[in-house]
Amino acid sequence: MAAIVVEDIRKSYGDLTAVDGVSFTVAEGEFFGILGPNGAGKTTTLEIVEGLRRPDGGSVRLLGENPFPRNVKLLPRVGVQLQASAFFEKLSAREQLETFAALYGVGPARAREVLDLVGLADKAETREDRLSGGQRQRLSIACALVHDPDVVFLDEPTAALDPQARRNLWDVLRAIQARGKTIVYTTHYLDEAEVLCDRVAIMDSGRVLALDTPAALVRGLDAPVRVVLERGALAAATAAGLPGADEVTEDDQSLTISTRTPAPLLSALAERGTLDGLQVRTATLEDVFLHQTGREYRA
C-alpha cells in the first residue's frame, strides 16, 4: 500500500517555477530520498506533501488523506523536521521534548526514550540555546519522532552533524524504518542516500529527472571502472597498452586507467606485480547526480 501518492504537483512564485509537474509514490515502510542541487525544488515539494503549502496544481494523498488544508487526522501520524527549527525559549532539551510530547498526548517517559535515541540523554537538562548546532539538529529530529509517527519527513537532517553523529543518526533512522515507519528526506550527502535509501528521486529545476533504487541508477549510468595506481608504479604508455585499458590519465599523485572490462586489466596488472596500493573505483550515486544535474556550482 502507498503511504504517499504525488501526482503532477506544481508551485510557482511569480515568474519562478519551484515545482513543475512532480509525481512519485512512496510505499509504506519505504526510505525515500529526494536529492537535488540548491534551488531544485526539494524543500517546496516536501512542504506540499506535508501539507504546509498549497500546490497550484496536481494532488497529494498522504496516508490516504489530502494534507492541505491542515488535516487534523494526519497530525498524530506524521512527524516533520524542517530545515529551520524553532524551540520554546528557556526550556531544557528534556522540557522541550516533554512539551512536544504533551501536545500529542504522549507521556514524559517517551520524551526521555527519544532523547536517548538521538544521543542527547546527557544533555537532557541543558537549555536549548546552550546546545551546539549539531545537538540542536538532533533535538529537532527528536521532536519529529516523539509521538511515534507513521511517516517521518526530514529535511537535510544530518546538516551540521559531525561524522560520528551523522553515522549515529543513520542507525537511528534504520531502527525507525525497521519498525515499519515510512521515511522521506532530503540530503546533500550522496553517500548517505546511497546507503540508506530504498529509492531516490533526483530533482532539478522543479522536475524529477530520475527515480529508482540507487543501485539501478548507478547501473543505468554505464560509467567506466577507474583503476588507480600510485604514480610511478607503471608508465602511462605501458598502461595504455594493457588489455581493457580505454583511457589513461596521470597527475602528481596517481595514474588512473578507465576501463569497461576490468577483469583482464586487473589480471595484466597482477602479472606485472603492480597491485600494491591499487584502488578500484566504480560509479556511485554522486556520479549519477552530477550526470543528471551538471557540475556547475550553485550557491
pLDDT attached to residue 28: 96
pLDDT attached to residue 180: 92
Task: From 70, 79, 74, 55, select the one nearest 6 (Cα to Cα).
Answer: 55
Mean pLDDT of the chain: 90
The string of pLDDT tens digits covering residues 117-144 is 888 999 999 998 898 888 888 898 899 9
pLDDT band at 186 (very low <50, low <70, confident <90, very high): very high
Question: In three state form, how does the secondary structure of 166-212 look?
Answer: HHHHHHHHHHHHHCCCEEEEECCCHHHHHHHCCEEEEEECCEEEEEE
Does the structure show a pLDDT above 90 at 211?
Answer: yes
Per-state percent for the chain, helix, strand, coil, to nearest 5:
35, 30, 35
Mean of pLDDT values over 45-73: 94
pLDDT attached to residue 133: 80
Task: Name all domains of the chain by residue range, CATH numbers in brackets.
Answer: 2-217 (3.40.50.300), 224-282 (3.30.70)
The string of pLDDT tens digits covering residues 1-30 is 899 999 999 999 999 999 999 999 999 999
pLDDT attached to residue 172: 84
Percent of the chain surpassing pLDDT 90: 61
Rounded CA separation 248/257 (Å): 5
Which residue(s) pair with 13 in the sheet? 16
Residue with C-alpha cell 529545476? Answer: 205
pLDDT attached to residue 86: 77
Q: 116-124: list long-range contacts, CB under 8 Å, 24+ apart.
A: 117/142, 117/145, 117/172, 117/175, 118/142, 118/145, 118/169, 118/172, 119/165, 119/168, 120/93, 123/93, 124/92, 124/93, 124/94
pLDDT attached to residue 280: 92
Does the structure show a pLDDT above 70 at 295?
Answer: no
The string of pLDDT tens digits covering residues 26-52 is 999 999 999 999 889 999 999 999 999
What is the pTM (predicted TM-score) of this model?
0.84
Task: From 111, 95, 119, select the one nearest 172 (Cα to Cα).
Answer: 119
Does the structure show a pLDDT above 90 at 162?
Answer: no
Rounded CA separation 288/266 (Å): 25
Gap between the terminal Cα atoms of the chain: 39
pLDDT band at 298 (very low <50, low <70, confident <90, very high): low
Mean of pLDDT values over 234-261: 92
Rounded CA separation 74/50 (Å): 10
